[in-house]
Amino acid sequence: MTKEHLSISITPDSVDIRFLPSRSKPRARLYGLLIFSAFLITMDVLALLLPGKHGDPSMWHFMIDGGRDSLDLTPLILIAIGNALLCWPWSSYIRAAYPPDESIHCDKSVLVVSRAAWFDFKNRTMKSKTYPLGQVSGLRYATIASNWGASIRGIRFSSQGRRWMLPEIEPEEAKKVLSGLRALGADAPEDPKLDKLIAEAAYMRGGDTGWMDRSWMDSDNKQ
């Protein structure tokens, strides 16, 4: 995530964050939806038209074999079930991979998350959810969506269910946000793993990690 996507303001009384991925990729969600829809349609067509093993007839042939008066819809039902099973795990990943604009405000009493609806491609309307700070727990930097070995990290927390915000935020930025929330009294425990991720990110960028304890690299090499 580049810096122009994210602005963080921290004072002794509040934390305010603006996350605006649409600035550099205004059509990312639309393109993501079109790509996934095209993939799904292609898979459906292949499932209908490709013959089975050993020269068995295709599902399309099986469906229309009896003529118009005895059309068998079983293949379409099976494909619909397959689509549902495929879309269920992919939906959360796509929403996190192509996120809408959002803003976060937190003070010593409430956490307010305002976010455009996912299908509002122009981010015209922001809908806000308010969580009493005393009912917010487990604020941490963690995986919020994953699929096929790929994962997306963001800020996770619990408040009447599992919630997340700020997908694809960098570890350094997450530490800054969590430290600010902790100073306001939020339940955001210190996480040694986050420091390790910061060190790893700096190492991968070729930056100076001298301020960190490099023992994590030594311990990983010994395993």
Tell me if 43 is assigned to some domain. yes
Whether residue 11 is contained in a domain is answered as no
Q: How far is Cα 160 from Cα 137, in angstroms, rounded to an integer?
A: 10
For 123-135, write each residue's pLDDT tens digit. Answer: 888 999 999 999 9
Residue 157 makes CB contacts below 8 A (sequence gap 6+) with: 136, 137, 138, 139, 140, 163, 164, 165
Using the predicted structure, report yes or no on whether residue 72 has a pLDDT greater than 70: no
Dihedral of CA atoms 105, 108, 109, 114 in degrees, nearest 10, equals 10
Domain that residue 44 falls in: 30-95
Residues with Cβ within 8 Å of residue 185, at least 6 apart in sequence: 108, 133
DSSP 75: H
In a domain, 72, yes or no: yes
Residue 120 located in a structural domain: no
- Identity of residue 32: G
Range of lowest pLDDT (47-51, 73-77, 108-112, 156-160) = 73-77
Q: Is residue 41 situated within a structural domain?
A: yes
pLDDT in tens, 14-24: 999 999 988 87
| Residue 139 to residue 179: CA distance in whole angstroms | 10
Mean pLDDT, the chain, whole residue set: 83
Q: Per-residue pLDDT for 70 more than 70?
A: no
Q: What is the pLDDT of residue 83?
A: 81
Across 49-53, 57-61, 167-171, 204-208, the highest mean pLDDT is recorded for 167-171
* Domain-embedded: residue 56: yes
Which comes out higher in pLDDT, residue 57 or 211?
57
Query: In this predicted model, what pLDDT tens digit does every residue of 37-58 receive, in sequence order?
Result: 898 888 888 888 888 676 677 7
Residue 12 scores a pLDDT above 80 = yes
Number of domains comprising the chain: 1
pLDDT over threshold 60, residue 209: no
- Residue 186 reports pLDDT greater than 90: yes
Confidence of residue 218 (pLDDT cuts 50, 70, 90): very low
Res 222 pLDDT > 50: no
- Say yes or no to pLDDT of 165 above 50: yes
Q: Cβ neighbours of residue 208 under 8 Å, at least 6 residues apart?
A: 202
Please, is 57 exposed, middle or buried when counting C-beta atoms within 10 Å of its C-beta (0-12, 13-18, 19+)?
exposed
Indicate the angle between helix axes 215-222 and 192-204, nearest 10 degrees: 90
The Cα 30–Cα 39 span in angstroms is 14
Most confident of 30-39, 52-61, 176-185: 176-185
Instruction: Return the sign of the alpha-carbon dihedral for residues 139, 135, 21, 33.
Output: positive
Instruction: Choose among 190, 1, 210, 31: nearest CA to 102.
Output: 1
Question: Is 47 inside any structural domain?
Answer: yes
In a domain, 53, yes or no: yes
Tell me, rounded to whole angstroms, the distance of Cα 108 from its chain centroid.
27
Residue the block writes with tokens 């956490």: 111
User: Residue 85: is its pLDDT beyond 90?
Assistant: no
Q: Which two tokens stand for residue 50?
A: 């490709």
